[in-house]
Amino acid sequence: MSLELHYPSNCPFCRISEAYPASSESPVPSSPDPALVDPNAFIILSSDHVLAFLDILPMTTGHVLLTTRVHHEKLSEVPIGPTAQALGYWMPLVSRALAKTLHVEDWNVVQNNGIRAAQVVPHVHFHFIPRYSEGRRPPSKKPKADTFEVKSWKMFGRGQREELDEEEAVELAQRIREALKQEVEALEKDAVKL
């Protein structure tokens, strides 16, 4: 079977998947090099079946994508089995890590299927979008071009997004990884008690 079938070369998420293989040590990498792909990828999670990384055109600070390692265009194409189970396993953990890291109480988890449903990259992925309290600016060292961060109603649209600040992304990805590691450790600790 051809690698191109599983990892189309024109798919940016497949390029990320190839550049950041799963580690036998931990699915949450310590300090992955963002420059292994172009544009840079700020990896949060790299497991056998799924990856998570910061969106390069975030709707809000902390916008994370969770995607499958193997290429599937739409959610309906993901086979029932380890990949589907991995998505279900990691979704609450990523949610908790984001909420703790960014001190948010509300966030969206959105998944689009097809171009008419606002899917820009044709590789199945989930958006985790932190929603900050009205008037609260998210953690940032640099002022944003507009006030999109403080409008909780902001929805999808290319013109409504700003490019990811790479300096902040390095630090933010590290903080989210640390919170995610704590979530995994807590889960493993609780599993032993059962």
Q: What are phi and psi of 51, to 5 degrees?
A: -135, 155
Token digits for 72? 């599937």
Of 77, 25, 21, 24, nearest to 50 by C-alpha is: 21
From 49, 71, 125, 127, active-site residue: 125
In the annotation, is 127 catalytic?
Answer: no
Read off the pLDDT of residues 137-178 as tens digits, 9 standing for 90 and up. 566 655 554 444 445 455 554 446 678 889 999 999 999 999
Question: Distance between CA 27 and CA 34 in Å, rounded?
Answer: 16
The region that residue 88 occupies, defined by phi over 0 for left and psi between -120 and 50 for alpha, beta otherwise, is alpha
Task: Specify the pTM.
Answer: 0.85
Please enumerate in sequence order all residues whose Cβ is within 8 A of that of 117, keeping only pairs 6 or more positions apart, or say none: none
Give pLDDT, residue 3. 47
More confident residue, 114 or 192: 114
In which band, very low, low, confident or very high, does the pLDDT at 189 lie, cut at 50, 70 and 90?
confident
More confident residue, 152 or 38: 38
CATH architecture of residue range(s) 3-193:
2-Layer Sandwich (3.30)
What pLDDT, in 10s, does the model give residues 61-72? 999 999 999 999
Mean pLDDT of the chain: 86
Determine the Cα–Cα distance for residues 47 and 26; give it in Å rounded to an integer: 8
pLDDT of residue 36: 97
Domain borders along the chain are 3-193
pLDDT score of 151: 52
